[in-house]
Structure 1
């Protein structure tokens, strides 16, 4: 477990550090901006660090690349509705607590924003965080501990973007971002354990990013209560998922904890 986790973190932080760290340095020198096509490419490639890290660990553990599409896109039978229900609940919490649209995001562009967020600007990371790192940690520590550690590492992985001029992360204090990352690790970790569906986590992650763009977020009692209810639901979902159901097909009797 330690070796696999170390390999994942090495690949993840090396790729992202080179891309996002390089973008931050070049921006500071006035050589390259996030709006430049080359800046966009570096930003995009950096976001795939966890994806590459997760795939590396999967293949080194005996998996084959041709197995990846099925492991990512096919949920455990009869569980897709869990992701749908969670997405509806999260959407209701954000909409009811904020109640104000961001005027900079036309409603006609929401499907495009969601598509991008689920596939290339956020959701793509889930092969690494929920498909690899969190299940590995869950083999060694209880779920709450694994979720907190994954969330904090995930937040720290984003840190270079606070030094990239024009990055959306600069609109939110890092402390609040870290709290949200920890909460999401509980939410998505429970969804993955129940469904064994990485793409379901992609969709939930993409929805979160879309909602944060679509609404003017208000930090109030309703938002806090909604997030805590989702947290409680994730704990119930994780602990009520039988061990056999938490393993993917072909993994029973061989507890790999990956994808």
Structure 2
């Protein structure tokens, strides 16, 4: 317990890897691992107050209206742009009823991307990293961790491993920067990141072009808002509890 309290972020990352990868021999990837890891580490290191803070982040819906517009509109715009510039099949042949169903499932199912990942990555890890590092440095660390964590999916999905690997690395780095920006701009709303994640995954598009557009968007966000990225994160987007890593 002492080790966990002194190194909550390291513990969280290790648990997230173990819980996700232990499922691989059974043919699936434990995308619920960040949520479960956060629910284990937070009570031990921050008690009830930490759980309450995490819960407030997950249900924080009162954010500027334009944050909602961007959370839903940006992923849709990236999908459409990828279809216009490259392969239109993910948009042309899609059933929008199916898209809506997938969106709802990904929004509430803890075994899917949004609900399974965002409470851990953005709700716990990002505020902890930003308590010590600039938003850009914190996001860079998180991008590396999340990218490596996702790598087994390349081999589970089959196909052209080199193409899939390139797309996953490019796309994961891009969307990690985007989710961090959205999280900070919304005052630390995990709910908004869950919604954005669900929208992004509602239409299947695994082309390198699609992932490249996410990286291009991330570069634009960093260049245009570089002072914020290199400064300190907004108060609501960092932990209000004792700094992560401080023994209690």
TM-score range, shorter chain: 0.7 to 0.9
The CA distance in 2 between the partners of 1:61 and 1:133, in whole Å, is 13
For these two proteins, the number of residue pairs brought into alignment is 228
Which residue of structure 1 lines up, in the alignment, with residue 179 of structure 2?
Answer: 188
Q: Does 1:62 align with 2:66?
A: no
Alignment of 1:66-145 (within 5 A): 68-75=54-61, 77-79=62-64, 81-99=66-84, 100-102=88-90, 105-120=94-109, 121-124=112-115, 125-145=117-137
Q: Does 1:198 align with 2:183?
A: no
Question: How many Å apart are 1:238 and its aligned residue?
Answer: 8.4
Which residue of structure 2 lines up, in the alignment, with residue 17 of structure 1?
Answer: 21
* Counterpart secondary structure, 1:140: coil
Calculate the TM-score normalised by the size of structure 2. Answer: 0.75
Quick one: structure 1 residues 138 and 197, their matched pair in 2 at CA, closer, same or farther if it must change by over 3 Å? same
* Counterpart secondary structure, 1:74: coil
The CA distance in 2 between the partners of 1:238 and 1:203, in whole Å, is 27
Q: Does 1:3 align with 2:4?
A: no
Q: What are structure 2's unaligned runs of at least 5 residues?
A: none
Question: How many Å apart are 1:51 and its aligned residue?
Answer: 0.5
Quick one: structure 1 residues 217 and 161, their matched pair in 2 at CA, closer, same or farther if it must change by over 3 Å? closer
* Counterpart secondary structure, 2:225: helix
The CA distance in 2 between the partners of 1:236 and 1:171, in whole Å, is 33
Deviations 1:99-143 (Å, cap 9, x if unpaired)?
A: 324366422211111122333321020111111222222233322
The CA distance in 2 between the partners of 1:246 and 1:94, in whole Å, is 28
Q: Does 1:239 align with 2:228?
A: yes
The CA distance in 1 between the partners of 2:221 and 2:21, in whole Å, is 34
Q: Is the 8 A contact 2:54 2:123 kept in 1?
A: no
Quick one: structure 1 residues 59 and 206, their matched pair in 2 at CA, closer, same or farther if it must change by over 3 Å? same
The CA distance in 2 between the partners of 1:206 and 1:169, in whole Å, is 25
Which residue of structure 2 lines up, in the alignment, with residue 33 of structure 1?
Answer: none
Q: What are structure 1's unaligned runs of at least 5 residues?
A: 25-41
The CA distance in 2 between the partners of 1:173 and 1:219, in whole Å, is 12
From 216, 219, 222, the equivalent of 2:209 is 219
Calculate the TM-score normalised by the size of structure 1. Answer: 0.72
* Counterpart secondary structure, 2:97: helix
The CA distance in 2 between the partners of 1:85 and 1:116, in whole Å, is 21
Question: How many Å apart are 1:203 and its aligned residue?
Answer: 0.9
Q: Which moved more, 1:173-182 or 1:137-146?
A: 137-146
The CA distance in 2 between the partners of 1:58 and 1:147, in whole Å, is 20
The CA distance in 2 between the partners of 1:154 and 1:112, in whole Å, is 26
Q: Which moved more, 1:125-134 or 1:88-97?
A: 88-97
Q: Is the 8 A contact 2:20 2:33 kept in 1?
A: yes
